Structure formats: structure tokens, C-alpha cells
Amino acid sequence: MTTTLSSDSVPTVATLERAAHASLFRRLLRNPTGIGSLGFLVVVVLAGAFAPLLAPHDPNKASANDILAKPGGTYLLGADGSGHDILSRLLFAIRPTIEGAALAVAVAAAIGITAGLVSGYYGKWFAGAASWVASLLMALPGIVVLLAARAVIGPSLFGTMFVFGILLSPAFYRVVHAAVAAVRQELYVDAARVAGLSDARIISRHILTVVRAPAIILAAGVAGIAIAIQAGLDFLGLGDVSRPSWGGMLTDAFTNIYTAPLQLWWPSLAIGLTCMALALLANSLRDELERSEKPKRRRRRRPAAPAAPAPAGSAAVQHEPVVPGDQPAAEPGDELLQTRALAVGYDQPDGSVTMVVHDVSLTVRRGEVHGLIGESGSGKTQTAFAIMRLLPAGGRIVAGNINVEGDDLATLSEKAMTRLRGAKIAYIPQEPMSNLDPAFTIGSQLTEPMRIVLGLSKAQAKQRALELLERVGIPDPQRTYDAYPHQVSGGMAQRVLIAGAVSCKPDLLIADEPTTALDVTVQAEVLDLLRDLQAEFGMGLLLVTHNFGVVADLCDRVSVMSAGRIVETGPVRSLFADPRHPYTKSLFAAILEDAEPRGPLVTTEAGR
């Protein structure tokens, strides 16, 4: 009944690929270098194709009267040492040049892409053998091989270009192998295997699409090299002398360099401009593929206060401490960190600003653990980064202020901010591994900040680092001190980062999902450690997390964020016992901990 819908409403893979291709092509046309180089190449190809119509003379007709004729008159660009018309020879040389280059590219691509696909997809012994052969081919001196090949197969343009194509195939092999090996790890390739697709189908559907773009870029570059090499061989007189060629014309002009120096220009320009156009085309193709539009840099300015300046805190539901055992309410003068109407935005390429944090007013008191909880995209991490003034490129504090002991971090100079980080504010990241530099030992990464911030000597800093490592529960501090980050586990790396964060005795510690990347048993240990250290050093801790269990375990007060705003804030026990805001309630409803277990399978329901 729905047959009428089918044929045109189902986009096939082919049309999708065409769409992707077309958009790249369209973007290329908007790129000035791209359109320029492409336009030039189109003109060259057309001139070559219609050379018999365009050329004013027979390129092989030598006229003894016109040897080295000056440009102008019958011979627009002059005549060469044998009395041939230079313009006609230039035009007639285009076709073999391009055909030769195309042959080299085709051979290189056919061998390289096939081998790259097979070795990237199947790996194993073929990958080993293929990469060995590729290395061997790359190590061969190309021009020597071409000379030897020419000696065997004679002065054939296509023969030489075929051999050159083989020599160039490793370039394609490497690029394709890398792309395929990467995409081979993708889960959607596994899913396709489980779905029962054959290898041929998986390669054509999922893998060729990834390979296409880099292969096209490479082909443009390789074509340029092939044209240059071809001209070189012809210049040496190793090409087919019976046909006009740019390299051959260069030889002729070279012999007459003193009598007619101008003649050297024409073939040189033809070779140079064509190769340059191909190289530029390859570059602009790559630029268009990798383009990530950069937002316009704008000076940070302080706009007038937000349009409707809400009284601080009015947006968020506040809790009075109603449950016994909760931390007492605010004691004025005890605030360590206080943000007021903080707003964070990202500059867009079109000049607008996308707001990710609105009107956030947050207070962390001395010695308090404050949880900032929300789902992904709620703006909790952006708030934390804004406080440290470490927002990613394009992000900036649009409005509001951040008070830490009398300083407004929103307006502080970058220099003063650098002094503050580490000394007064420290940070524990989510991914311990990516926050340690793999090139340095853990010891050197721990001691460096202490030497700069606290002014300790090398020996003192090492002493303190070892103490700290022991304090955070690392069994063999000296060994970890000497180790590189990849030699320790994720849980150990997080302990190292915690040791680093507290090393300069900060007043405020900002922890961004500090246990999310860890296993639960390790998480429990790290939470214990954070609790002990916080009590020992009397730090304020701002804990960014999405996990209500972590908040329940560690926090004194909590603020719930949603869509860039704090919707509810209060002491942990009161807020957990009696969430007021509908969003907080919906989050609590989604918690599975109190949910009924599924129970055993009722067998009468089994089967269909």
C-alpha cells in the first residue's frame, strides 16, 4: 500500500555521497584560491583538448625561414630553434602531459588505495608485508628507477608514467591505511558486522566514504609531481622526442638561451603554473575539508548590567536548613567565593553570542563542600571554568562578577589571575590521564608548581611531593615520583592530580567530575581522600558532578543547575529530603537506587 512512497522518498547511499561531494565542491568554489586554481586547470585542459582547433600552425611543421622568429606577427610567441611555432607546440604538449600525469595518478591510486583498504581493514600479515613494500618503494631513488625503466622499455611516455605511478603508490597506501585503520575501530563498523553485512558491503558503505576526501587531495598533489618529473625527463631528452612536450621545448630554448632568452619563459610558465595550480588546489581542498570557522576575536567588554537585573538569588529556590545535622546557614564574612549574576557566552562566527550560563549566583564558604549538580549541557562545567578564567577559545564572561577575598576575578588582569591559580585556586579535572603531560615524570610535574608558587628549592619540593604522594595513599611514593603518567593506573593518576592540587595549599579547590572516569570502588576511595584532605586543609571545595550519590556522600550544600541557571540551592540534607523545584524533583524521580528490582523471570511469559 505504500509502494508509491518508496522510490523517491528513500535517499540511497549514492545520493548521500553525491550530496557530501557536492557540498565540498560548492565550498571549494567559494574559496578564492580554490576557484582560481581550478579555473586555471579547466582552461588548460580545455586548451589541450581543443589544441587542433586552437593552434594556429601545425606543431611539427618546421620552417627553415622562421628559426628563432621573434614573437608577434605569424608566430604569437615566436618560433623555436627548428622553426616550429611555440604556441602551437605548447598547446599540443598539454594533452600528453595531462594524460601521462593522469596515468601516473591512476596507477598510484589503484595500487595504493586497494592495498591500503585491504591492510587497514584486515590487518595481520598483509599489513606488515604491505608497509614493508611501501617503505622499500619510498626508499628507492625515483629518478634512477625511472632512468633504468626507460632503458628497458624505451622512450615511451606512458611506460615511464606507469612505473612512476608504482613508485608513488606508497603515498596513497599510507594515507588510506591510516584512515581505514582508524575507522575500523568505530563501533558502527562492528554494528554492521553484527548486522550481517559482508566485508565488501561494509567497505563500500562505511569505509570508502572516509577515504575519498584524503585520496582526492593527494591525487591533486601527486598529479603536480608527475607533471614536473615528466618535464624533467623530457628536458633530459629521455622522453618521446617525436611529439611536442614542455620539457622538450625547454631543452630547445635552453640551447638557444643566449640568442633568444625569451623562449625559456613559455614552457617554464606552462610547467610552473600548472604544477602550482595543482598544489594550490590540493591545499584549498584540504582547507575546505578541515575548515572550522573561527569566531571573530572581539575585545572583552563589560556591557551594562543584564537587561532585567534580577535581585541576586531570586531565581533559585532557597532552602532554610530544616533537617537537623545540616550545616548552619550563612555566617556573613565567611564567604570564600561568591559569584553574582555570572553570565558566560560564546562568540559565534556571525557576531552573535550564544549564552551558556545565565545569572548564576553561587556562594562557597570557607571549609565548605559545595556541590554543583546538573545534566550534560546544564552549564556546570562552564561555570567552573569561568571562575578559573579558563574558558575554551571563544568563551568569555559576559556579565556579573566573581569575588574571591576582595578580588573580582571577572576583571582581574591575566597576570594577576595566573598568580592566583595554583596558589589560591586549584583544580582537579575529570580525565586524570589527559591532564598529565606524558613527556615528563610525575615528580617533575608535581614539583614545578611548588617551586614557582611556594618558592621552594628543588630538594624541598621533592621532599614535599613525596610526603603528598604518601598522604594521598600511593603505596610506593618514590616509584610513582619517578614514573611517567602512562605507567600508573587511572585511579593512581587521579590521586597524583589531587596531590598536585593541594600542594600549594589553596583556599579553594574546584573539582570537575573528579570521579566520573573511575570505577566505583576507586571512586569510593577518592571520595574518602577528598573528604579527609578537605577537612585537614580547611579548603572550600566546589564539586561539579552529575552524580547524586557523590553529592550525598561529600557535600554540605548543593546547587542544582539546568539550562545555564541555578534552579535550586540549599543544604544537602534539606534539599534531598524535600526538593522544591520541579526540575530537581524530576531528577530525583529518575534515580534508580530505590527502584524495585526486576525479580526472577516468570517462565509462563517466556517465549513468544
Partner 1 sequence: MTDRLLDIDNVEVEYPARGFRGTPFKALKGVTLDILPGETVGLVGESGSGKTTLGRAVLGLAPVTGGAIRYKGRDISHLSRAERRTLSSDIQVVFQDPYTSLNPALTIEAILTEPLTVRKVSRADASRRVRELLDQVHLPADAGDRLPREFSGGQRQRIAIARALALDPQLIVCDEPVSALDLSTQARVLALFKEIQERTGVAYLFVSHDLAVVRHLSHRVAVMYRGEIVEWGDGDQVTARPEHPYTQRLLLAAPVPDPVAQEQRRAERRRLLENQREQDAQAGAIA
Residue ranges binding partner 1 (CB under 8 A) = 2-3, 5-7, 9-13, 16, 20, 186-188, 190-199, 201, 205-206, 209, 325, 375-376, 519-521, 523-524, 527-528, 546-553, 572-573, 576, 586-593, 595-601, 603, 605-608
Residue nearer to partner 1 on the CB measure, 187 or 308: 187
How far apart, in whole angstroms, are the C-alpha atoms of residue 79 and residue 81?
7
CB 343 → partner 1: shortest distance, Å?
23
Q: Are 116 and 211 in contact, with CB atoms under 8 Å apart?
A: yes
Which CB, 199 or 467, lies closer to partner 1? 199
- The answer for residues whose C-beta is within 8 angstroms of residue 192's C-beta and 6 or more apart is 201, 202, 205, 206
The CA distance from 368 to 337, in Å, is 11
Closest approach of partner 1 to the CB of residue 591, in Å: 5
Nearer Cβ to partner 1, position 55 or 517? 517
- Per DSSP, helices labelled H in 434-519 are 442-453, 458-471, 477-482, 490-502
Q: What is the CA radius of gyration of the chain?
A: 35
Shortest CB 201 distance to partner 1, Å? 8
> How does strand 508-512 pair with strand 425-428?
parallel
Shortest distance (Å) from residue 23 CB to partner 1: 12
Nearer to partner 1, 322 or 416 (CB): 322
CB 403 within 8 A of CB 339: yes
User: CA 153: distance to chain centroid?
Assistant: 47
Closer CB to partner 1, 71 or 321, in the complex: 321
Of 282 and 551, which CB lies nearer to partner 1 in the complex structure? 551
| Nearest-approach distance from CB 550 to partner 1, in angstroms | 6
Cβ closer to partner 1: 111 or 428? 428
DSSP 315-356: SSEE----STTSPP---TT-EEEEEEEEEEEEE-TTS-EEEE
CA distance 121 to 207: 9
Q: Give residue for cell 579548603.
A: 539
Q: How far is the CB of 558 from partner 1 (least distance, A)?
A: 10
Nearer to partner 1 by C-beta: 347 or 556?
556
What is the smallest separation between the CB atom of 524 and partner 1, expressed in angstroms? 4
The answer to whether 534 touches 506, Cβ cutoff 8 Å, is no
The 3-class SS string of 542-556 reads EEEECCHHHHHHHCC
Smallest distance, Å, CB 528 to partner 1? Answer: 8
Residue type, 582: P
